[in-house]
Amino acid sequence: MAEHTLFAAFRRLKGNARGCVLTEPLWGIPYNLYAPYISVYMIALGLVDQQIGLIASIAQALQVVMALFSGVITDKLGRRKTTLIFDLMSWCVPSLISAIAQNFWYFLIAALVNSLWRVVHNSWSCLLVEDTDPDELVDLYSWIYIAGLTVAFFSPLASLLIKRYDLIPTMRGLYFFAAFMFAVKATVTYLLTQETEQGKVRMLETRHQSIFTVFAENKGVLRGLLRSPRTLITAGIMLILGATGLINGNFWAILVTEKLQVPAQNLAGFQVAKSVFMMFFFFFVLPRLRHLSFKLPMALSFIGMIVSQLLLVLAPVEGYALLVISLLLEAGCAATVGPLLDQMVVVTVEAKERARIQSLIFMGIILLTSPFGWIAGTLSSINRNFPFILNMVLYSLGVLLVGLASRAADRHKQELAEAAAAH
């Protein structure tokens, strides 16, 4: 019996890719244990809704700054060292602060320190892909997504602990456990990886430059980015998925419980079903799409997402059938688009300036997606369906951008062929 392509790809993983994939559950398991209860924990310690919103807004503003500087820091320190230092700072320290939190100020400081994760997001991405064969990227990212889905099944353990020991003691214990696991994850990742070749080049080039001197060079990087249609189109698709993800994350549960009258205790079951179906897609559908260009799978996925939102809008009260079909259709499309988009980011971003280009892209996406929470909230207050109609419009733009990305990729291949023929 032939070995499954994903398992064969996992066996082929080596070096930094293997080190990054193997350690993902060490972060995902503790995070998924405490994450669903963060706001409830804050309220239990005396915070009010406005304070929770203020913390989120201040942290979001700092994330923009950290995203902007993430490329410079990654180039100066190197991908491997940056990942170690900022993994420890952005996850271990906030977890320890939250574990002993007493009031608003503890959570504010924890959120500000946690904003440093924008730096490690950039450095870890570079560490993951820079020395990896481009043909392995879809399978590599599939395993990253699979790791994230698998650890989500641990989250019900937290509810069992809360029932037995109460909320505040459980959350304090989970935060201490998370701090320990995050430290283990950062250390093991460091031990299992090596500095990338491009990281060594950038460390050498920036060795005698200050951070602000390197940062000033972002003007030239930005000009180059604005002259790269392929990268801008890819960033546009990232923006669409970021905005729709924000809308779904905040308003799906509201529509389902308020409009469709689905009991809140049933929501966890829907999320488990979604995770299982996405796993099915990763193992049995995506491997069959390997021989195709990204255009057809991504375009069909965006169309599928439009249909999923339409079914959600049309679902009647207690319309479980349409709700389940909508959820599973969205899950399958998301499982298809995610790895393909990640591959597009890697192949369209100039390797020499990957860290700084990614920092500019991430910063732009944070800034441009931020208003969608307020926009969707305003629409939802008028009609629960309106945020998902907005999603349909955004997914339609996604279909258009996939077509433009395909044409840009064809032009790039033609230019490379002409350049090779000239030599």
**So what's the pLDDT on residue 85?**
97
Report the distance separating Cα 247 and Cα 241, nearest Å: 10
Rounded Cα gap, residues 115 and 94, in angstroms: 10
The CATH code for residues 219-423 is 1.20.1250.20
The CATH 1.20.1250.20 portion of the chain extends over: 1-216, 219-423
pLDDT recorded at residue 268: 66
CA distance linking residue 72 with residue 77, whole number of Å: 9
User: Rounded to two decimals, what is the model's pTM?
Assistant: 0.81
Nearest to 128 by CA among 200, 189, 214, 61: 189
- pLDDT number for residue 246: 83
Q: Which residue has the tokens 């990087």?
A: 221
| Cβ neighbours of 406 (radius 10 Å) | 17
pLDDT at residue 2 in the model: 58
CB 384 within 8 A of CB 258: yes
The DSSP string of 187-252 is HHHHHH----HHHHHHHHHTTTS-HHHHHHTHHHHHHHHHT-HHHHHHHHHHHHHHHHHHHHHHHH
| Residues 5, 387: Cα–Cα separation, whole Å | 38
pLDDT at 286: 81
Spatial separation of the C-alpha atoms in residues 138 and 145, rounded to whole Å: 11
Is 1-216 in CATH node 1.20.1250.20?
A: yes
Taking each continuous run of H as one helix and of E as one strand, the counts in the chain are 20, 0
Dist CA 108 CA 118 (whole Å): 17
CB 309 within 8 A of CB 395: yes
Q: What is the pLDDT of residue 203?
A: 93
Cα angle 204, 206, 208 (rounded to 5 degrees) comes to 95
Tell me the C-alpha distance between 288 and 65, whole Å: 41
Residues with Cβ within 8 Å of 128's Cβ and at least 6 positions away in sequence, in order, are 16, 17, 20, 140, 144
User: Residue 156, class by beta-carbon neighbours within 10 Å (0-12 exposed, 13-18 middle, 19+ buried)?
Assistant: middle
Task: Report residues of the chain scoring pLDDT below 70.
Answer: 1-3, 264-265, 268, 423
| pLDDT tens string 218-268 | 788 888 888 888 889 999 999 999 899 888 877 887 788 888 888 866 776
Place of tokens 């993902």: 24
State both tokens at 107.
């959570």
Q: What is the pLDDT of residues 81-129, one digit of tens each?
A: 999 999 999 999 999 999 999 999 999 999 999 999 999 999 999 999 8
* DSSP symbol at 265: G
DSSP 378-389: HHHHH-TTHHHH
Token pair for 307: 């249909």
